[in-house]
Amino acid sequence: MEQIITNGLLMGFIYALVAVGLTLVWGVMDVINFAHGEFLMIGMYTAFWMYSLFSLDPLIGLPISMIVVFLVGVFTYFAIIRRVIDAPGLTALLATFGFSMFLKNFAQFLWTPNYRYINDAVVSGHSIKIGTISIGTPQIVASIGSIILTILVMLFMDKTRTGKAIQATALNKNTALLMGINTKKMYAITFGLSGACVGAAGALMSTFFPIYPGSGALYSVLAFVIVALGGFGNIKGAMFAGLIIGLTEAVGGYLLGTQFKYALVFLVYMIVIQVKPKGLFGW
Amino acid sequence: MVKDKKKLLIIILIIAVLPLVIKSRTVLNALVLLLIYATLGEAWNIITGFAGQTSFGHAAFFGIGAYTSAILFFRYAISPWFGLILGGIIAALVAGIVSFPFFKIRGHYFAIATLAIAEIVKQIFVSWDYVEGATGVSIPIIPRDSSFFTRLINLQFNERLPWVYLTLILFALAIFAASYLENSKVGFYLKAIRESPEASEAIGINPRKYKLIAMMTSAFIAALAGSLYAQYILYIDPFMMFSLDISMKIVLLTVLGGIGSVYGPIIGAAIFIPLSEFTRIQLGGSGTGIDLMIYGLLIVVITSYQPKGVIGIIETVRNRRNKNNDGGEGKGEAAS
């Protein structure tokens, strides 16, 4: 049981990093980015190609993954989001839905649907034993990396001028504009930052998950639930919700059978939202 | 109570004549899918367009309808006509029971809850042996030389023409039901709730009651479309029936066709279904995913470079049609 709880928590930290990226965009721009899972997939593929073409370990390649997906995020903002952000209702969401379909199939077109693995990364094949608990090194490195990056994002948002400007933009775009904040630039940075988070998550996950064009899709649905559970736009909320979902998945999978673990995750969301209609940390 | 009855009849008449003019199997297939999706769009429009509750989980009701008729036929050889009605009732009940607790939840939180419902339903069907789990249900095929009457009872046809008319009848029922609802007292209550739940409650409308009516009607119609779809393609599995892709396609075509308008779904379907069929036929089958890649790109281009364009263009068409009184946009696209 300790083993299962540990596994759940470790997975939870990674979910948290994926969800932090999504919640940033959601909170600041009120845009549901359906392509978020595909950003994760791009992060994983970047790590894979760095590894197989230049023998760069995913850990060393991590900044490259971050930069690549950061750029994808900024590109997405300028090419698509900028045009739909003021459109009514669900238009922005549908644009990102189309974009996710494009990215997934573009990856399949370029790199075939085959599963790819990174087998002999620095972290692979080791595990650490603490008492009766044994933890795989890839998982522990991924969780520590996720924790560090999540904290960095929080610090960035709270302590830096840019972070504060982003928050101001989120609160009221027009007032922020009047205060001399370049809101377009803030949106672009937010989208890029969201991409960087999920790119890092992709690189960290690439050492113990198969890499294929559809590898991000499952996590994007989970990330939606995590973000909603934590309260839209709330980074701290996303982190706690990520942990809760990771735990639920591991413990639920153990108690009820793995086929029901995601059903249980969704059930947890549906129950929590009855008590806290705006998520755990929503207001 | 149905406003613009003439306009609706003209749209239906044009679709009815279309298969007599163009006999290509490809076009008829696209027309059947178009009508099924347009029906789903009408259903979705009732809860989201009228009542303002965004649903990302309509695939659940579509799938429940499909599974009810398919399983009854597969296990007990019961006519799909019975399954069709029963599926509608089950879907409406499920929709009522599971969504009722969520009506107090606003906006995106509700949308994610509907997404969660659809995912849970999918997981249940994947591991439920009675419905053949992840293997899916292959609907038993009746002998090729059966009489037309037997075929009608069992809802299996050798040609596509009967399918066009069956799905057209369903679509006609859906659009008339939606139009009736829109102009009924319930419709006005729903719009009041959409605009301001607090204000409508203050004047004595019970939001939960009317949202429940909208949700159950919507699920019922979606399930009927599901039953016909299952009989049309003769094979269903949980991954394709309950996929987020189906839920999102419904949202896509209704929003871009015109959310909250009874014409929206048919306009949207007339643009997106032929587009998807065209890319699939021209580019699909190679296994490279290039068809969906192009389709995704087209969605991006349409939504982001002409965010108001599609709706705007249609608005002009609508105005012109009002003047000339000759309906039926979408005819041109359906033929492509």
Domain residue extents for chain A: 2-112+152-275
What are the b/e assignments for A250-279, b being 16+ CB within 10 Å?
A: bbbbbeeeeebbbbbbbbbbbebbeeeebb
Query: Residue B247, Cα to own-chain centre: how many angstroms?
Result: 9
The two beta strands, A127-130 and B137-138, are unpaired
Question: What three-state secondary structure class fits B330?
Answer: coil
Question: What three-state secondary structure class fits B46?
Answer: helix
Q: What are phi and psi of A215, to 5 degrees?
A: -65, -20
Choose the closest CB to A105 out of B102, B124, B293.
Answer: B293
Quickly count: other Cβ atoms within 10 Å of residue A55's Cβ.
10
Answer whether A259 sits within 8 Å of B255, measured CB to CB. no
B249: closest CA of chain A, how far (Å): 9
**Amino acid identity for residue B226 in this structure:** G
Least confident window among A83-87, A95-99, A195-199: A83-87
At residue B334, the pLDDT reads 38
What are the b/e assignments for B146-163, b being 16+ CB within 10 Å?
A: beeeebeebbbbeebebb
A275: closest CA of chain B, how far (Å): 10
β strands within chain A, DSSP E: 127-130, 133-136
Structure tokens at A80: 């698509």
B251 chain-A contacts, CB cut-off 8 A:
90, 93-94
Answer whether B300 sits within 8 Å of A80, measured CB to CB. yes
Looking at chain A, which residue has its C-alpha nearest residue B108? A228
Looking at chain B, which residue has its C-alpha nearest residue A229? B109
Q: Are B254 and B265 in contact (CB under 8 A)?
A: yes
B257 chain-A contacts, CB cut-off 8 A:
none
Least confident window among A49-53, A56-60, B224-228: A56-60
Residues of chain B where predicted confidence (pLDDT) is lower than 50: 309, 326-336
Choose the closest CB to A274 out of B101, B115, B297.
Answer: B101
Answer whether B293 sits within 8 Å of A269, measured CB to CB. no
Whether A89 shows a pLDDT value over 80: the answer reads no
Whether A134 shows a pLDDT value over 70: the answer reads yes
Higher pLDDT, A131 or A35: A35
Choose the closest CB to A270 out of B113, B292, B295.
Answer: B113
Looking at chain B, which residue has its C-alpha nearest residue A217? B244
Choose the closest CB to A105 out of B112, B248, B290.
Answer: B290
Helix (H) or strand (E) holding B103: none
B118 contact A CB<8A: no
Answer whether B108 sits within 8 Å of A105, measured CB to CB. no
A278 chain-B contacts, CB cut-off 8 A:
109
Summarised one tens digit per residue, pLDDT across range A230-246 is 988 888 899 999 999 99
Alpha-carbon span B105 to B197, nearest angstrom: 11
At residue B306, the pLDDT reads 63
- Alpha-carbon distances of A129 from A126, A132, A142, A254, rounded to whole Å: 10, 7, 17, 21
Answer whether A102 sits within 8 Å of B120, measured CB to CB. no
At residue A280, the pLDDT reads 84
Choose the closest CB to A263 out of B124, B255, B305.
Answer: B124
Contacts of range B93-101, beta carbons closer than 8 Å, 24 or more positions apart: B93/B216, B94/B60, B94/B61, B94/B64, B94/B121, B94/B219, B95/B60, B95/B61, B95/B215, B95/B216, B95/B218, B95/B219, B96/B212, B96/B215, B96/B216, B96/B219, B99/B212, B99/B215, B100/B208, B100/B212, B101/A270, B101/A274
A266 chain-B contacts, CB cut-off 8 A:
116-117, 119-120
B56: closest CA of chain A, how far (Å): 11
Answer whether B54 sits within 8 Å of A83, measured CB to CB. no
Answer whether B255 sits within 8 Å of A270, measured CB to CB. no
Whether A172 shows a pLDDT value over 90: the answer reads no
Answer whether A80 sits within 8 Å of B256, measured CB to CB. no
- CA nearest neighbour of A80 among A66, A99, A67: A99
Query: How big is chain A, counted in residues?
Result: 283
Alpha-carbon span A201 to A206, nearest angstrom: 8
At residue B122, the pLDDT reads 92
Alpha-carbon span B262 to B179, nearest angstrom: 6
B243 chain-A contacts, CB cut-off 8 A:
none
A91 chain-B contacts, CB cut-off 8 A:
255-256, 303, 307
For every residue of B254-297, DSSP letters joined together read HHHHHTTSTTHHHHHHHHHHHHHHHHHHHHTTSSS-HHHHHHHH
Dihedral Cα A11, A14, A18, A23, nearest 10 deg: 90
Contacts of range A145-152, beta carbons closer than 8 Å, 24 or more positions apart: A145/A17, A145/A62, A145/A200, A145/A204, A146/A13, A146/A14, A146/A16, A146/A17, A146/A200, A146/A201, A146/A204, A147/A13, A149/A17, A149/A20, A149/A197, A149/A200, A150/A13, A150/A16, A150/A17, A150/A20, A150/A197, A150/A235, A150/A239
At residue A149, the pLDDT reads 92
B309 contact A CB<8A: no
Whether A124 shows a pLDDT value over 80: the answer reads no
**Residue with tokens 């009746």, as numbered in its chain:** B142
A98 chain-B contacts, CB cut-off 8 A:
252, 295-300, 302-303
Query: How big is chain B, counted in residues?
Result: 336
Share the mean pLDDT of chain A.
Answer: 88
B124 chain-A contacts, CB cut-off 8 A:
263
For the entire predicted model, the pTM comes to 0.88
At residue B167, the pLDDT reads 94
**Residue with tokens 């791009």, as numbered in its chain:** A42
Higher pLDDT, A100 or B290: A100
At residue B313, the pLDDT reads 65
Answer whether B104 sits within 8 Å of A277, measured CB to CB. yes
ipTM of the modeled complex: 0.87
Write the CB contacts of A80 (distance below 8 Å, at least 6 apart in sequence).
A95, A96, A99, B300, B304
A232 chain-B contacts, CB cut-off 8 A:
108
A35: closest CA of chain B, how far (Å): 11
Alpha-carbon span A205 to A201, nearest angstrom: 6
Of A33, A36, A109, which to mutate for an interface test with B (greatest number of B Cβ within 10 Å)? A109
A34: closest CA of chain B, how far (Å): 10
A91: closest CA of chain B, how far (Å): 6
Of A270, A271, A276, A278, which to mutate for an interface test with B (greatest number of B Cβ within 10 Å)? A270
